[in-house]
Amino acid sequence: METLTATQKQYLEQPKERISGSEAIVRCLLAEGVNVLYGYPGGAIMPVYDELYKYEDKINHVLTRHEQCAAHAAQGYARISGKVGVAIATSGPGATNLVTGIADAQIDSTPIVCITGQVPSHLLGSDAFQETDIVGISTPVTKWNHQVTKATQIPEIIARAFYIAKSGRPGPVLIDITKDAQFEQFDFQYKKCTGVRSYVPVPKTDPSSISDAAALINSAKKPLIIWGQGIILSKAEAELQELVEKAGIPAAWTIMGASALPTSHPLNVGMVGMHGNYAPNVLTNDCDVLIAIGMRFDDRVTGKLDEYATQAKIIHLEIDPAEVDKNIKTDVAVLGDAKQNLIELLPQVDANTHPEWLQKFKDLYEIEYKKVIKNDLHPTKEGLTMGEVLKEINIQTKGEAAIVSDVGQHQMIACRYADFNVTKSNITSGGLGTMGFALPAAIGAKMAVPEREVVAVIGDGGYQMTIQELGTIFQNKLAVKIVVLNNEFLGMVRQWQQLFFEKRYASTEMVNPNFVAIAKGYYIEAKKVTKREDLAATVKEMIDSDGPYFLEVCVEKEGNVFPMVPSGASVSDIRLE
């Protein structure tokens, strides 16, 4: 049961009071426990901003430098706090600029509510100044959206938005509110939404599916667990660890599931997928029972579908029925909330160990270590590697930092080599792969957990897509630590060009600016490292800093990320070089 704050109680189910639609919007947010939101003002949303000005002691509006970044900041806030993130923008370009962040939130199951202003209702459909059909545009990338044209609709629609965004499989919701509805006066009262007709956020679990899953697990000789973000979203980390330890099952993770089980756990066998670890990828095609929990068999995880785990019985624990049998045919589907289903499954699972099976993972890890990991973390060549930068961050943060990564080579290196000893520590753009995600997402993450170290790990390409958010960091005095791994290339695209396009580096080499000077222009402490002997001391200085810090590390220009499953190949065809 949700514990209400004093502010929430103040605005929940109070006697009716005649106020404007714009004030109602702010009061609805307060009733939902929102104390921070991210946005950018404009004409069609100005009445709401006027009310935010009056309530600035209760709700903190963070002025991002671009609306897309408002959505990403809301994502970062939601991912690390477990709460609903909120972004706000005006009509037209303000609203359309949110769409990339909304699409990112949709595919990565992130609960955010986006509120957009709209032209007055009598101008709808007239191609008025800054009018766009944002409801139509955002329909494919939202869990739900709605246009409000009357002030009386505001409380019910906002209550429903928050309920839909955070219930079941979370996702983004957009509410578009016409300007006249913001000005209109009405008798306001707010009640939280506890259900929506025909919407079943958590499907009912069939008890026989639990028993069938337990029977398969108990009979397995070579079981493998692959878990995804569903573990984190359902707060099932303890139950996952109990299952892994009780049944002695090696467990691997998708990038969205990273940190649900500590990296150092002896049964954590690493990451699956295109740049995942050698052992869990190869042995996916050797296990006899594959237990998938809160993951969706994305193509970057499965590789060639008709050669994926064809020898195994598949158990799929999943909250979204649409994901079951979508890509991989299951033998036992356990619908429902992961935490509750694991609680029911655990008593039926026998205590077990699988020493010979686990030894296979250890043997393959040694092969990967000698061919890949050793060279990434303990290089003998002159150029700095991305891996050794992550290793130094691990040392200085004791593996307790929240790592917010962008998209590209550095993302795969961060996911592979960061020590995740605390849950909700890997904040990245998984399904959409949005370059420019990390810097604004780190803003939201740091504001959600100011007591934690938040380190944004970014490539030189993605960094320049949202570099303007240094202004947001400076203005809000946020102690975000920013690490740009600069190889002067769009590294992941260049790697593909090297391996599959005969080194035709078309439009991937970057001529970069003076990153340190730009950071200092925003009054952020900044340094550049080009030599290995300077790395440890500078990373320590960054982590010890009380304020924001920018660190540029010049890494080898043509370093590649291995292992790698080539596009369209089987996971067992993973390449080590």
| Whether residue 508 is found in the same domain as residue 413 | yes
3-class DSSP state of 112: strand
| Whether residue 220 is found in the same domain as residue 140 | no
Tell me whether residue 366 is in a domain. no
Is residue 515 annotated as a catalytic residue, yes or no? no
Is residue 329 annotated as a catalytic residue, yes or no? no
C-beta atoms surrounding 557 within 10 Å? 13
C-beta atoms surrounding 238 within 10 Å? 14
Region label for 248, one of left (φ > 0), alpha (ψ between -120 and 50) or beta (otherwise): left
- Cβ distance 424 to 82 under 8 Å? yes
3-class DSSP state of 206: coil
Tell me whether residue 193 is in a domain. no
| Whether residue 348 is found in the same domain as residue 413 | no
What is the model's pTM?
Answer: 0.97
Alpha-carbon separation of residue 148 from 110, 137, 403, 487 (angstroms): 23, 16, 38, 48
Domain tally for the chain? 3
Beta bridge partners of 403: 426, 455
| Whether residue 129 is found in the same domain as residue 236 | no
| Whether residue 182 is found in the same domain as residue 213 | no
Last residue of a domain, one of 153, 188, 223: 188
- Cβ distance 244 to 419 under 8 Å? no
Calculated CA dihedral for residues 256, 442, 39, 408, nearest 10 degrees: -60
Tell me whether residue 371 is in a domain. no
Is residue 542 annotated as a catalytic residue, yes or no? no
Task: Look up the CATH number of the domain holding residue 67.
Answer: 3.40.50.970
Q: Which listed residue (10, 129, 185, 500) is catalytic?
A: 129
- From CA 577, how far away is CA 371, in angstroms rounded? 8
Last residue of a domain, one of 188, 220, 248: 188
| Whether residue 32 is found in the same domain as residue 62 | yes
Tell me whether residue 527 is in a domain. yes
Tokens representing residue 132 in the block:
């766009």
| Whether residue 401 is found in the same domain as residue 531 | yes
| Whether residue 282 is found in the same domain as residue 331 | yes
Which position has the token pair 């906002």?
158
pLDDT at 562: 96
pLDDT at 1: 63
Q: Which listed residue (256, 386, 412, 492) is catalytic?
A: 492
Q: Tens-of-pLDDT digits for all 577 residues of the chain?
A: 678 888 888 888 788 999 999 999 999 999 999 999 999 999 999 999 999 999 999 999 999 999 999 999 999 999 999 999 999 999 999 999 999 999 999 999 999 999 999 999 999 999 999 999 999 999 999 999 999 999 999 999 999 999 999 999 999 999 999 999 999 999 999 999 999 999 999 999 999 999 999 999 999 999 999 999 999 999 999 999 999 999 999 999 999 999 999 999 999 999 999 999 999 999 999 999 999 999 999 999 999 999 999 999 999 999 999 999 999 999 999 999 999 999 999 999 999 999 999 999 999 999 999 999 999 999 998 899 999 999 999 999 999 999 999 999 999 999 999 999 999 999 999 999 999 999 999 999 999 999 999 999 999 999 999 999 999 999 999 999 999 999 999 999 999 999 999 999 999 999 999 999 999 999 999 999 999 999 999 999 999 999 999 999 999 999 999 999 998 999 999 999 9
Q: Which listed residue (130, 468, 475, 498) is catalytic?
A: 130
Contacts of 304 (CB under 8 A, 6+ apart): 568, 569, 570, 571
Q: Which listed residue (23, 32, 67, 552) is catalytic?
A: 67
| Whether residue 386 is found in the same domain as residue 349 | no
Tell me whether residue 570 is in a domain. no
Element (H, E) at 411: helix 409-417
Task: Look up the CATH number of the domain holding residue 302.
Answer: 3.40.50.1220
Tokens representing residue 177 in the block:
């509110």
Is residue 129 annotated as a catalytic residue, yes or no? yes
Tokens representing residue 102 in the block:
């909304």
Tell me whether residue 146 is in a domain. yes
pLDDT in tens, 91-101: 999 999 999 99
Q: Which domain holds residue 263?
A: 207-361
| Whether residue 253 is found in the same domain as residue 387 | no
Q: Which listed residue (179, 339, 360, 424) is catalytic?
A: 179
Is residue 307 annotated as a catalytic residue, yes or no? no
Tell me whether residue 563 is in a domain. no
> Of 293, 303, 195, 185, which is closest to residue 247 (Cα–Cα)?
293
- From CA 268, how far away is CA 262, in angstroms rounded? 7
- Cβ distance 281 to 183 under 8 Å? no
| Whether residue 184 is found in the same domain as residue 234 | no
Tell me whether residue 559 is in a domain. no
| Whether residue 227 is found in the same domain as residue 294 | yes
- Cβ distance 449 to 421 under 8 Å? no
Last residue of a domain, one of 328, 361, 394: 361
Task: Give me the sign of the Cα torsion angle 369, 373, 377, 383.
Answer: positive
